[in-house]
């Protein structure tokens, strides 16, 4: 039986986004504060996922051996380093989160049966790389606070309470929603980026956070006048709001994850989601097709 195992590692390093072939003004315009000399640092957290068959000892791999490989090939070289200089790959393509994950894959692939490299630059930004050329996934997270009531205008109060329980109470209730947006694209060979992160965050702010934050979703967001704002329907609506403006940035919206509470969350894979598919006024969640 095949199984996937994961190993966590970490390192602290600094880097700078700077292209010597363009002017200082162009670097500042392209990279903002990340272009400042001599650079800035992060406490990186790395997750290495590996696949294989269980052996007679109930293991895919000896994790002590895995730990040694990761340390030898990656963390001992990157820890307390200036990434732009430590590996030649980062002199050709800047050490962005997504490109570091790609190069880590290249360094470990001869030694381990990799299926994914996930690198957290900080808790609200991370990249996933699965060994597919220059293709990478970048996730950024944010939050908003909003209230909602789970009740369909087409149903009686009795029926709404039967379906939604306490969530159908007439004055609603609130959540501190945590939103994760994942985009998919090709790493640019010089900048190391799949997307302008500042532009991506601004799209999320403009289309979701600003209009949704501190609202009563049923009353303040026109879409939810007839669609019950379950976490699933909120995530699907967000995916449709973001898909086109994110595509205009040159990447594809891949996934929207909405965490309603520590106990409840949902994920929408956005490649084929359509706003028109949400026609369920009774509130049955409709998920995007994959």
What residues are labeled active site?
167, 214, 260
- CB distance 183 to 138 below 8 Å: yes
Let me know: does 126 contact 173? Beta carbons within 8 Å. no
Q: How far apart are CA 157 and CA 161, in angstroms?
A: 6
Beta partners for residue 114, in sequence order = 50
Strands 81-82 and 125-129: unpaired
CA distance linking residue 163 with residue 177, whole number of Å: 22
**DSSP characters over 68-127:** HHHIIIIIHHHTTEEHHHHSTHHHHS---HHHHHHHHHHHHTTTS-EEEEEEEEETTEEE
Question: Alpha carbon 169 to chain centroid distance?
Answer: 33
Question: In three state form, how does the secondary structure of 186-251 look?
Answer: ECCCCCCCCCCHHHHHHHHHHHHHHHHCCEEHHHHCHHHHCCCCCHHHHHHHHHHHHHHHHHCCCC
């Amino acid at each position: 039986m095949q199984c996937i195992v994961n190993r966590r590692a970490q390192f602290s390093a600094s880097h700078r986004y700077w292209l010597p072939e363009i002017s200082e003004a162009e670097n500042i315009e392209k990279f903002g504060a990340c272009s400042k000399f001599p650079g800035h640092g992060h406490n990186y957290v790395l997750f290495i996922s590996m696949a294989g068959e269980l052996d007679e000892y109930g293991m895919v791999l000896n994790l002590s051996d895995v730990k040694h490989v990761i340390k030898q090939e990656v963390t001992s070289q990157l820890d307390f380093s200036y990434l732009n200089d430590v590996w030649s790959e980062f002199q050709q393509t800047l050490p962005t989160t997504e490109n570091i994950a790609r190069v880590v894959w290249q360094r470990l692939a001869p030694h381990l049966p990799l299926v994914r490299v996930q690198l957290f630059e900080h808790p609200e930004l991370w990249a996933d790389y699965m060994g597919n050329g220059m293709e990478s996934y970048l996730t950024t997270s944010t939050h908003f606070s909003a209230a909602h009531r789970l009740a369909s205008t087409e149903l009686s109060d009795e029926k709404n309470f039967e379906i939604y329980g306490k969530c159908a109470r007439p004055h609603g209730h609130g959540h501190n929603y945590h939103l994760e947006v994942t985009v998919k694209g090709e790493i640019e060979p010089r900048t190391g980026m799949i997307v302008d992160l500042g532009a991506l965050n601004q799209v999320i702010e403009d289309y979701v956070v600003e209009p949704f934050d501190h609202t009563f979703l049923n009353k303040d967001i026109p879409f939810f006048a007839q669609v019950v704002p379950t976490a699933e329907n909120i995530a699907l609506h967000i995916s449709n709001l973001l898909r086109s403006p994110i595509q205009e940035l040159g990447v594809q919206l891949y996934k929207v994850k909405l965490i309603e509470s520590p106990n409840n969350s949902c994920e929408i894979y956005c490649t084929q989601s359509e706003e028109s598919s949400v026609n369920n006024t009774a509130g049955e969640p409709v998920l995007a097709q994959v």
